[in-house]
Each structure stands twice: as structure tokens, then as C-alpha cells.
Amino acid sequence: MTSHTGKVQEQFGSVAAAYLTSAVHSQGADLTMVAEKFSHARNADVLDLGCGAGHLTFAIAPRVRSIVAFDLSSEMLDVVRGEAERRNLPNITTKQGRVGELPFEDATFDSVCTRYSAHHWTNVPHALREIRRVLKPDGTFILIDTCAPTVPLLDTHLQAIELLRDGSHVRNYTHAQWDEMLQAQGFKIQVHKLWKISIDFNCWVQRMRTPPLHVEALRSLWQHAPEEVRDYFHVAEDSSFQQDSIFIESKRAPVRS
């Protein structure tokens, strides 16, 4: 049997190039928002966790001193290195590893960011402790991810379709759950935004090379979902849908004595 780490490497290693050209990942108001937040951070050192094909890294790199693109998949990091060279962004370096075991010294980074990666983390509280450890005092953590609705019926359907499409999926969390986990690990929330992203079903399953049997199950699940589920996710006839995303900016809070 393959471990979760192995499954992540298998799932994303073979599709790394597809994520570079993915419209969902390469575009978005959130990338513009992040870039603006680093517009006056020329001396900042940044870590992009679960960087994937590097879209967040590329948005930040021109505005900071250095950025480390960090991912479990060596193939994803190969894509980042190649694209960084093509874009002439020499301040980007890459590092392979696991979010729960960051190979960096304490207080290394001014900011840590992650985009559409956290729903793959097996132990979020532990990962947040590691993030806090490598942040400098008063450092910033920016989280961008798909998130779960608060209604159990809606949440159940979301987790089911995510897992059927991608076996490395762990969980989407609600905004309240993220707030609770961040505060419990010593972060003070500064900014909190929610919005919906549109998912083209065919591109979504093709990008992950979802097995045909699972694609059939996904279509069936959407087609036979209760009306309130289909309405909430704006499910179309071709099974395309809309999904909630979240943007949270938080600060590394001082340790209480």
C-alpha cells in the first residue's frame, strides 16, 4: 500500500506541467492581492509552501529579496526552476520536503505563504507550528485554499467529490475551523476573505488524470445531489461547478509569558 506522502508524489509528479498552464492556478484576484501585499517588501525573505507549479512564487518574486519554492514533488520543483529561468527571476530557489518537517532554522522568513496546498496536509496543527517556528517575530502567514461550507450536507458532498477526483486529498476546512486552528497555534488573524472559483469539470479531472470510473462516479454524485447542494455549488449540466476559497492573512503573535 502507498503512504499518503507517496500518493501525493504519484498524483502530482506526473501532472506537474499541467498545473503550470492551469487557468484556475495561474490566474485569480488572490494572486494580485498577494502581489500588492509585497509591493513594499524589497528586503523580505519568503517561503512558498506547497508551491506546486509556482504561480504564487512568481507573483511574489519580483517584489522581494528572496523566495523559496517548497514542495514535496521534485517534478513540480523542476517546473518552477525552468519557469523561473524563463522569467529571469534569479531570487527564486527551490527546496523539496514535507510541510511537517521544514528544513529551515528558526526565524528564517519574514513571510510564509501557501496557495491551494493545505487541503493535502495530514496534520494541520503540526504544520502551523512549523510555520510559526520558521517565521521571524511579527512575521506574516498568508493562507489561500479551497474551503468547506459550514452546512454538513454541503460539506459531505464537497469532501466526497474532492477525494474521488484526487486520492491525496485530506480535507477542506471551514473558515471557522481555520480561524480556530490558527489562533490555537499562536497566530493573530488580520485579513479574512471568502470568494468562489469556477471549476471546469473536464479540465479539473483531466489535469489530475482521474480514473474513468471515478469520473463517472463524480458526474453521478453531482447529477443526483439534492437540489440545495446543486444550487449552492452552482452545478452545471456538464458537472462544472463553483467552489469556496478563502484568504487569511495572520501574524505570528508573541509568546505569552
pLDDT of residue 29: 83
Pick the closest to residue 116 from 23, 210, 25 (CA basis): 25
Indicate the DSSP class of residue 251: E
Q: Mean pLDDT in each 10-residue stretch from start to end of the chain (257 residues)?
A: 54 52 60 92 96 94 97 92 95 96 97 96 97 96 96 98 94 97 96 93 91 97 97 97 96 76
**What is the third-level CATH fold of 4-149+168-198+244-252?**
Rossmann fold (3.40.50)
- pTM for the full predicted model: 0.89
Alpha-carbon distance of 78 to 58, in angstroms, equals 14
Q: Are 138 and 252 in contact (CB under 8 A)?
A: yes
Nearest to 221 by CA among 147, 157, 165: 157
Residue 4 has a CB neighbour count (10 Å cut-off) of: 13
Contacts of 124 (CB under 8 A, 6+ apart): 118, 173, 181
Residue 256 pLDDT: 62
pLDDT for residue 5: 62
Q: Where do the structural domains in the chain lie, given as residue ranges?
A: 4-149+168-198+244-252
pLDDT for 196: 94
In this predicted structure, what is the pLDDT of residue 254? 80
CB neighbourhood size of 255 (10 A): 8
DSSP 10-43: HHHHTTHHHHHH-HHHH--HHHHHHHHHTTT-TT
